[in-house]
Amino acid sequence: MAEKVAVYWGTGRRKTAVARVRLMPGTGEMTINGKPFDDYFGRSAFRAFVEQPFKVTETAGRFDVIAKIHGSGTSSQAGALRHGIARAMLEAGEDYRTELKKAGLLRRDPRMVERKKYGLKKARKRPQFSKR
């Protein structure tokens, strides 16, 4: 019979992106939507952004991450994944809380797209003024 492996769950959100993160002890492998981490996030800035919770808690290479992300764009998905990893790490060990909280990784980014108003082209952009 296979031995049980500790699995920690975390849900991260940013704008309309939602990341369901599964964290387990391992070698630091990351799989997002069935793809390797480096293939899913092409830009190195996004990769560094996502790896922040591991750098802050000095646990790089100690957890494997399997995540399902949907909604929004790449930048928001990276933010949602970072939030989900931080929440899953809390479940893994309460001693990570102080470092994660100090770095601001447990707080969901509240910024959302402002709604479009009638009579305007976008949320705040006005139509061109015509004198005649």
Question: Considering its fold, how many domains does the chain have in total?
Answer: 1
Task: Give the domain range for residue 49.
Answer: 8-102
Residue 65, beta-bridge partner list? 23, 30
pLDDT for res 69: 97
Q: How far is CA 1 from CA 24, 65, 128, in A?
A: 19, 24, 71
What's the CA gap between 56 and 11, in Å, rounded?
19
Residue 39 is part of a domain; what is its CATH number?
3.30.230.10
Q: Tell whether 88 is covered by a domain.
A: yes
- Give 62's contacts (C-beta < 8 A, 6+ positions apart): 25, 26, 28, 54
Q: Given pLDDT bands bounded at 50, 70 and 90, which one contains residue 68?
A: very high
Q: Tell whether 52 is covered by a domain.
A: yes
What DSSP string runs through 81-124?
HHHHHHHHHHHH-GGGHHHHHHTT-SS-----PPPPPTTSSSSS
Q: Tell whether 115 is covered by a domain.
A: no
Q: Tell whether 59 is covered by a domain.
A: yes
Closest CA to 14 of 67, 82, 86: 82
- Reduced to 3 states, what is the DSSP secondary structure of residue 2? coil
pLDDT for res 51: 94
Mean pLDDT over 115-125 rounds to 96
pTM of the predicted protein model: 0.91
Q: Tell whether 19 is covered by a domain.
A: yes
Q: Tell whether 111 is covered by a domain.
A: no
pLDDT for res 1: 60
For the record, the structure tokens of 8 come out as 């920690």
Please say if the pLDDT value at position 90 is more than 90: yes
Arithmetic mean of pLDDT over the chain: 94
Q: Tell whether 129 is covered by a domain.
A: no
Q: Tell whether 87 is covered by a domain.
A: yes
For 91-106, write each residue's pLDDT tens digit: 988 899 999 999 999 9
- CA-only gyration radius of the chain, Å: 19
What's the CA gap between 54 and 83, in Å, rounded?
12
pLDDT for res 12: 96
More confident residue, 26 or 2: 26
